[in-house]
Structure 1
Amino acid sequence: MEFYNKTGKMALGSRLRRLSELITEQAGKVYGYYDVDMQPKWFPVFYVLSAGEEKSITQIAQEIGHSHPSVSTIVKEMMKRGLVQESPGKTDGRKNYIKLSVQGLAINDRIRDQYTDVNAAIENALNETQYNIWKAIEEWEFLLEQKDLLSRVQDERKLRERKDVEVVAYEPKYQTAFKQLNVDWISQYFKMEETDYKSLDHPKEYILDKGGHILIALYKNEPVGTCALIKMDDHTFELAKMAVGANAKGKGIGWILGNAAIELAKQHSAKKLYLESNTILKPAINLYHKLGFKKVTGTPSPYERCNIQMELNL
């Protein structure tokens, strides 16, 4: 058990597998004790067929929550042992159905006492424990159906990496990064336009000197993302030039920048944020929706690539 003390909760799957293997090994001895010729892993398939109804592989898999290949393998093993038999369906001859054989039915008739004793033994074992593992398993199955383990790990990674993200105001030393980040994402999906070059080559004249702002996201002190607030009037900024480097995807940089831009706009008494984008940029559109932006019909855009306009009331 020293291994699990060292690894902690991250070895949960391995420890559950160890417990499963232990119970399976001991269950095999129980079948032997009752002189029942069956392997523990066959039991779910055997049980769903025990009522005497024939079922397809797909039906069995759905009922016991196993994969189709897994059930297919078990059925083949049980057929070799003579416990089940396969036959064309009565209503659909193209499908094969599985049912207990005469030998399987014979086991079904004499396994009842084993069921009774095993259930009682498990109940007694559960009563000896402080935590009911059966209920805990139900809870874990529910939790992982609502949000799988990968999603949970991804969220934790974002939280950890966000601690190394800092959003700072634009300085001339970030001009190269500001331009390159935008050129990279624009060139990936569209083509650079004249308006792009003006603002990216001369951000001071086209954005800052006109009352706008530029934010730079630093990850471990390296610029990995950017966005700009371009002043449209006394109460409105355009959220523009948002870009995140390919090497920083998945860290929540866009979300951090978006929220920082919203807070900055509020600090400057803005009542509205406006943006232009393209619907092929699904992650970006989803981000804007999460930030609270709604689709609007605005004035014609100077950008060829724009096919959606959105606004956020502050």
Structure 2
Amino acid sequence: MDFYQNLGFLVFGSRLKRLGSTFINDVNRIYKNHKIPFDASWFPVFFILSEKEEISIKEISDSLKVSHSAISQLVSGLQQKGLIKSVTSKTDARHKNITLTAKGKKLLEKIKPVWAALETAMNELADESGSSSKKILKALTGIETGLSRKGFFERIEAHL
């Protein structure tokens, strides 16, 4: 049995990080292999903009539960690449929102088939692994919900 599997929850974070790194690296290899100038780290912003034509950085930050600063940095990088632009809000002229540029929309059309293939591949993988793999998303949601009530740091400290 694998080292990580033997240690159970003691290395839960390490296993998730290792799995996440493998996943992100392979997805980025797919983009590169198909000559699509896209990075998996851009996915959340692009996906949100694929569903909502215009949105504020704060709304993205709140949706993703990521700091405003982190989203601002990502948005700045995407603006420098000419993929998104800042526009005056249609509902409040005092606020700025972001939207895809023509270049960003063209890129979005190239990456949508990759997203569909990715989802199909993940479903195949879950089917191969049996019913427990299909429950992983629900289990992760349960852990995230629990951590939102009481953080991991506090939980560990309570046992020391």
Q: TM-score, normalised by structure 1?
A: 0.45
Q: For each residue in 1:93-113, what CA deviation from the matched residue of structure 2 results, as whole angstroms up to 9, or x when unmatched?
A: 332211001011112233332
Structure 2 equivalent of residue 144 of structure 1: 147
CA distance in 1, matches of 2:27, 2:57: 25
Residues 5 and 52 of structure 1, relative CA distance in 2, 3 Å threshold? closer
Identity, in percent, stands at 28
CA distance in 2, matches of 1:34, 1:119: 17
- CA contact 1:54–1:98 (8 Å) conserved in 2: yes
Structure 2 equivalent of residue 72 of structure 1: 72
Q: Which has the larger radius of gyration?
A: 1
What's the offset of the Cα at 1:83? 1.1
CA distance in 2, matches of 1:33, 1:116: 16
What's the offset of the Cα at 1:28? 0.3
What's the offset of the Cα at 1:7? 6.1
Q: For each residue in 1:213-264, what CA deviation from the matched residue of structure 2 results, as whole angstroms up to 9, or x when unmatched?
A: xxxxxxxxxxxxxxxxxxxxxxxxxxxxxxxxxxxxxxxxxxxxxxxxxxxx
Where structure 1 has 5 or more consecutive residues not aligned to the other structure, the ranges are: 158-314
Structure 1 equivalent of residue 27 of structure 2: 27
CA distance in 1, matches of 2:46, 2:81: 12
Larger relative contact order, structure 1 or 2 (CA cutoff 8 Å, min sep 6)? 2
Structure 1 equivalent of residue 104 of structure 2: 104
RMSD: 2.2
The one-letter amino acid of 2:70's match is S
Q: Which has the higher strand share?
A: 1
Q: Which has the higher helix share?
A: 2
Aligned residues: 156
Q: TM-score, normalised by structure 2?
A: 0.84
Residues 146 and 118 of structure 1, relative CA distance in 2, 3 Å threshold? same
Where structure 2 has 5 or more consecutive residues not aligned to the other structure, the ranges are: none
Alignment of 1:116-195 (within 5 A): 116-130=116-130, 131-132=132-133, 133-157=136-160
What's the offset of the Cα at 1:89? 2.3
Residues 156 and 34 of structure 1, relative CA distance in 2, 3 Å threshold? same
Structure 2 equivalent of residue 268 of structure 1: none
